[in-house]
Structure 1
Amino acid sequence: MKPQFIGVSTPQQKNIYVKTVDKPVLNSPLHFHDLCELVWIEESYGKRIVGDSVADFKSGDLVLMGPNLPHIWHNDPVFHQSATDLRAKAVVVYFPVSFLMSLSDDDPTTLLLQNFLHQIKRGLKFQGNTRELLIDQIQQIRSTTGLKRTAIFLSMLNIMTDTCEYEFLTSNTFEASLNEIDNKRIHTLYVFLMENFSSEIFLKDVAQLVNLSPNAFCRFFKKHTRKPFSRFLNELRIAHACKLLPDKNLSIAYICYQCGYQNLTNFNKFFRLIMDCNPSTYRNRFK
């Protein structure tokens, strides 16, 4: 990927920086920075791209990303309508690697923290009781300062380094590229696809967005995202299908067309390819 470096402003060079987000829409560009970032989505939903991971996000999601991991959060189109009263609310906790590594000089703790930092290079999505415990402490940490904030963070760190209740976001082969030359093109493509995946999308039209021929575009996209354009688009569409399928009031045919597929055959084919099961089987998990 070719993301944009964004320097996170941490007042007075604090080791732990907490930002509360409350705005009509999440609109940061595809970016990376040199801090670890823990994000709790308090109220919002849409599409999230972290490294080579493409997924939907919703209220309650809790994600931790290591330094220099490209990411973008983009609300679904309904958030961009002028008449909506929807809000994007989140709490973000930033902390530098140097702060973690300065906490202790004993070998077992240093090894534990090094392993933790290695894991979060891929991004983690916390689940289960771990997610609940961390959200409770995030609600506390945003209203504290000084030693109280540090004490709560250390408690959170203890939970995060001692849990197995998470899923990795990126593939184990993903490596971020920090060259910014193609950032504008990649960002333009991501935003277009996240806002238009439910419509029929033609390769020549997407290529034209970034002033490339279809063949040149395919090479460009695969080089910078580590996956073919068709795979990326299908992952985006199937992620949206997974969000809709638990609603038993929506037929599978309806969901198929809402996700941009023109027939059930293709929908079922790509759903099985990406989720390793068919849509009906996936839906039955939510009985």
Structure 2
Amino acid sequence: MKTLIQKIHIEADYSFACRTYRTPDFETAWHKHVECELILITAGNGTALIGDHIGDYMEGDVFLLNMNLPHWFRKSKNEDIGSAIVVHFKKDFWGEKFLNLPELATIARVLQNENTGIQLTGELQKEIAQFLRRMEQTAGFDRIQLLLTSLQCIGESSEQNIITTAFDGVSSKEENSIIEAVMEYSFKNFLNPISLKEIAAIANMSISTFCRFFKKNIKKSYFDFLKEIRVSHACKLLRESDTPVLAVCYHCGYNSWSHFSKQFKAVKKASPLQYRKQYRVGGKL
């Protein structure tokens, strides 16, 4: 298993990193780093695990992850190509007092909360995506200016969703290995019933110890985690196929339509049919 702490390489001629990560470099399991991360998905789709958030991601999505926020962009299929333009920067790379300047108050507010993640929406998402594409091809002062402009635009806009806040993730390599093993098993088997006894055995723990461990580290119960994986898969089917809504229920590990519909609404704040209709009109729930 990979260690939780990822070391970000920054070239000697730059003060922060901006590069494309493409399969196989795109595949980095549950991890965190001291750098903030601004990421544009340029290919592939799957499930985004960001702090205690579980949701789907697709080409064109843009996320801003503050420092020390555990995350994992997991592809839908192993054979798919994943790719993203990723900016990694430390809050103080421009000097300890730079963000104290009154002119930078908006940017300072964007970066002040550790362990916070946001997803950009609407025109802001498109604008920042363009900045990131230019940033990767730019050097010198213009590169820093593009990053500052991106953060300023994010701070001034309401076109964003806060997806996780104040998430304090696991800290030890041993705990991280257990979390990765549990996640891997869950993603491979979520279409089938999974009991607490079964998943606790993967962690080599008693049921009660596992429940406390998982809630402590992921900030939700295991069955809530499993529910969000299944709903994320349902969203993909509702968006990308013409599978009847009733059949989607049975393709996502549920045996009861009423139970599926209730759990879907709890996560997406809309029924499966409403989700499909709104998405095809052009919105994204």
Give the structure-2-normalised TM-score: 0.88
CA distance in 2 between counterparts of 1:139 and 1:26 reads: 17
Aligned-pair distance for 1:241? 1.4
Alignment pair present for 1:27 and 2:20: no
Alignment pair present for 1:198 and 2:188: no
Distance 1:191 1:101, change over 3 A: farther
When structure 1 is superposed on structure 2, of 214-223 and 53-62 the one drifting more is 214-223
Given that 1:74 and 1:194 are in contact with CA atoms closer than 8 Å, whether structure 2 keeps it comes out as no
Residues 168-195 of structure 1: per-residue CA shift (max 9 Å, x gap): 111x453334344411000111122223
CA distance in 1 between counterparts of 2:206 and 2:92 reads: 45
The percentage of counterpart residues that share the same residue type is: 27
Given that 1:198 and 1:259 are in contact with CA atoms closer than 8 Å, whether structure 2 keeps it comes out as yes
The residue aligned with 1:66 is 66
Aligned-pair distance for 1:113? 3.0
Q: Pairwise mapping of residues 73-152 of structure 1 onto structure 2 (< 5 A)?
A: 73-76=73-76, 78=77, 80-81=78-79, 86-99=80-93, 104=98, 107-119=101-113, 121-152=115-146
Structure 1: tracts of 5 or more residues without a match: none
Aligned-pair distance for 1:110? 4.5
SS in 1 for 2:112: helix
SS in 2 for 1:260: coil
Report the residue type matching 2:64 in the other structure.
L
Given that 2:44 and 2:75 are in contact with CA atoms closer than 8 Å, whether structure 1 keeps it comes out as yes
CA distance in 1 between counterparts of 2:177 and 2:104 reads: 39
Higher relative contact order (CA 8 A, sep 6+): 1
Given that 2:66 and 2:114 are in contact with CA atoms closer than 8 Å, whether structure 1 keeps it comes out as yes
When structure 1 is superposed on structure 2, of 90-99 and 274-283 the one drifting more is 274-283
The residue aligned with 1:46 is 46
Residues 150-184 of structure 1: per-residue CA shift (max 9 Å, x gap): 232232232222211110111x4533343444110
> Which residue, 220, 229, 245 being the options, matches 2:213?
220
Aligned-pair distance for 1:106? 6.1
The residue aligned with 1:159 is 153
CA distance in 2 between counterparts of 1:105 and 1:38 reads: 18
CA distance in 2 between counterparts of 1:94 and 1:115 reads: 18
CA RMSD in angstroms comes to 2.3
CA distance in 1 between counterparts of 2:236 and 2:138 reads: 35
Distance 1:269 1:96, change over 3 A: same
Distance 1:212 1:237, change over 3 A: same
The residue aligned with 1:273 is 266
> Which residue, 232, 242, 250 being the options, matches 1:257?
250
Residues 204-240 of structure 1: per-residue CA shift (max 9 Å, x gap): 2211111112222212211211111111110111122
> Which residue, 219, 222, 231 being the options, matches 2:224?
231
Distance 1:24 1:196, change over 3 A: farther
Count of equivalent residues: 278
The residue aligned with 2:181 is 188
CA distance in 1 between counterparts of 2:181 and 2:202 reads: 8
Given that 1:10 and 1:17 are in contact with CA atoms closer than 8 Å, whether structure 2 keeps it comes out as yes
Structure 2: tracts of 5 or more residues without a match: none
Given that 2:169 and 2:217 are in contact with CA atoms closer than 8 Å, whether structure 1 keeps it comes out as no
Report the residue type matching 1:283 in the other structure.
R
CA distance in 2 between counterparts of 1:247 and 1:180 reads: 37
Give the structure-1-normalised TM-score: 0.88
Report the residue type matching 2:158 in the other structure.
C
